[in-house]
Structure 1
């Protein structure tokens, strides 16, 4: 039952994340919303809402308790800046320069990066399964970005750069907060991380300097969706799933996010998507399904990953 709950949480979170990325793309392209402003506002508001929900429904001492101890306060600070803010900013900038489908698919090379990290730390061996998933990810990325032609990229190089950085950030975001989640509720961890990330970015891009008075009503609906579902629910559910699943399981099952992003980008935003790009997408989907079906091997590596995290 716990595993099913974890799968449910990560699936809902990933779908909200993927659709939220597509809605963000619409805000950038149709309404001219500044990417820095959107990242700052969604972090600050979502973080505040999560902490308010915890205050109203759970043990209130944790709200300040996580910051009272120097060790956990530093962990929350690092997670907020290098995890939460890094994931949000790199992903949104990749969407801004490219599109939500490509940005999301690039971000979900993270499971492969986690495998490489485990092998590098000698906590796992490089298996045929790992080799196949790595090849699928590389082939899928090539077809997705080139549409079968080596002469041009279907998105600008800068979008590819930020998309790969978002995958690195997602790997860190998945692995780092395990110790914190053993001591504190996910609402507290995610809420403070969002506030820290939003506050840090607001020092560079103050959100109050942007005039939104000319936006139509529907744009505010899209903003509300991005903040509540694409940020608060998505990040909360994903982190909460780590209580019931291993980081590798969460990152693999959460890879349904690219599918949600691709479907909504193509059929809602009417973005062109070539034949080879669909084949590339199929490579990603097959990689995700292939890795998820090898449950015995994944579970066998949970202890290795747990010892890695304990040794950090």
Structure 2
């Protein structure tokens, strides 16, 4: 297998694992620290964005600032930030209209939108293996989320609609920033996109007027969401597409629910049964098949 393929698979899988661990921290904040969905979205994006911008300035001084505010680059960054904000908001709306299982399954269709776009816009041939891996990933996530109890699915029209909207916006966020990332690198693009979208969200949901509880564990969980669940995850995900195709990178984020379940078992005392085990095997098979295909 080529080294660059290994790097791409490792980066995309790491992004999924980080997003899954973030879900466990978010669960604690909402259950124990009175955080709402809007609190998490706005404070997370703004905090991570400002930190990334400061890190970029520390490492590169003002090298990227002028380039960020060039008309074409700024347009791409603002669109990417808007896609980030909207994809998260529609995901949470899908959960509120149905449940987490339905929302997660709908969002997992994002690679389909990416594959369809690349096939139409770039005349890219759809590969049978990609469709098989996508099916395996969806089955794996379905088994992990529902634990084999199909009654947990609530296919309301609104829930499915918001979930599909989140999937499409996620596909936009995967493909759209490619040009500006290649020009400016990952850090300034994600940093400024999150800063713009986080600031916009805070105008609607003022963080100074929230009723959250900032205890020690709450601060630790928030920092984990910002550092690991946002900065590391998004940087790894966008960086992975320098080595592997966007549809493959998007499929590998199926590690998100798997890591969330494993961490819930370890940290929160949740149970992990045979059904979830079969789902985990399905997800791991996608990585094996994609890696074998790339090395062949």
Residue 167 of structure 1 corresponds to 167
Deviations 1:184-235 (A, max 9, x none): 12111000110111122122212221133x4432112111111121112221
User: Which runs of structure 2 are paired with 1:86-97 in the superposition (5 Å)?
Assistant: 86-91=86-91
Deviation at 1:74, TM superposition (A): 1.2
Residue 231 of structure 1 corresponds to 230
Asked if 1:118 corresponds to 2:84, the answer is no
User: Which runs of structure 2 are paired with 1:110-189 in the superposition (5 Å)?
Assistant: 110-121=110-121, 123-137=123-137, 139-140=139-140, 143=143, 147-148=147-148, 152-154=151-153, 162-189=162-189
Secondary structure, aligned partner of 1:61: coil
Residue 300 of structure 1 corresponds to none
Deviations 1:93-135 (A, max 9, x none): 5677755x88666544433432233334472334432443354
Stretches of structure 1 that go unaligned for 5 or more consecutive residues are: 298-312
Paired with 2:131 and 2:185, the residues of 1 have a C-alpha distance of 36
Paired with 2:163 and 2:284, the residues of 1 have a C-alpha distance of 18
Which aligned segments of 4 or more residues in structure 1 are displaced greater than 6 angstroms? none
Paired with 2:85 and 2:188, the residues of 1 have a C-alpha distance of 16
Deviation at 1:155, TM superposition (A): 6.5
Q: So what's the TM-score if we normalise by structure 1?
A: 0.78
Contact 2:111–2:134 (8 Å) recurs in 1: no
Paired with 1:161 and 1:261, the residues of 2 have a C-alpha distance of 24
Asked if 1:51 corresponds to 2:50, the answer is no
Deviations 1:145-188 (A, max 9, x none): 655455x2256857666554443332221111111012112111
Contact 1:181–1:243 (8 Å) recurs in 2: no
Paired with 1:280 and 1:221, the residues of 2 have a C-alpha distance of 30
Paired with 2:11 and 2:146, the residues of 1 have a C-alpha distance of 34
Paired with 2:179 and 2:26, the residues of 1 have a C-alpha distance of 32
Higher mean C-alpha displacement, 264-273 vs 218-227:
264-273
Judging changes above 3 Å, is the alpha-carbon distance between structure 1 residues 240 and 145 closer, same or farther for their aligned structure 2 residues? Answer: closer
Stretches of structure 2 that go unaligned for 5 or more consecutive residues are: none
Residue 31 of structure 2 corresponds to 29
Contact 2:134–2:251 (8 Å) recurs in 1: no
Higher mean C-alpha displacement, 33-42 vs 246-255:
246-255
Deviations 1:232-284 (A, max 9, x none): 22212222333343323432444433321221134433445665454345434
Paired with 1:86 and 1:145, the residues of 2 have a C-alpha distance of 23
Secondary structure, aligned partner of 1:191: helix
Judging changes above 3 Å, is the alpha-carbon distance between structure 1 residues 116 and 145 closer, same or farther for their aligned structure 2 residues? Answer: farther
Deviations 1:41-68 (A, max 9, x none): 1111111111111101115231232212
Judging changes above 3 Å, is the alpha-carbon distance between structure 1 residues 160 and 288 closer, same or farther for their aligned structure 2 residues? Answer: farther
Judging changes above 3 Å, is the alpha-carbon distance between structure 1 residues 42 and 259 closer, same or farther for their aligned structure 2 residues? Answer: same
Contact 1:54–1:188 (8 Å) recurs in 2: yes
Paired with 1:246 and 1:89, the residues of 2 have a C-alpha distance of 26
Judging changes above 3 Å, is the alpha-carbon distance between structure 1 residues 273 and 98 closer, same or farther for their aligned structure 2 residues? Answer: farther
Residue 81 of structure 1 corresponds to 82
Paired with 1:269 and 1:102, the residues of 2 have a C-alpha distance of 23
Contact 1:21–1:95 (8 Å) recurs in 2: no
Residue 259 of structure 2 corresponds to 260
Paired with 1:206 and 1:233, the residues of 2 have a C-alpha distance of 26
Higher mean C-alpha displacement, 255-264 vs 48-57:
255-264
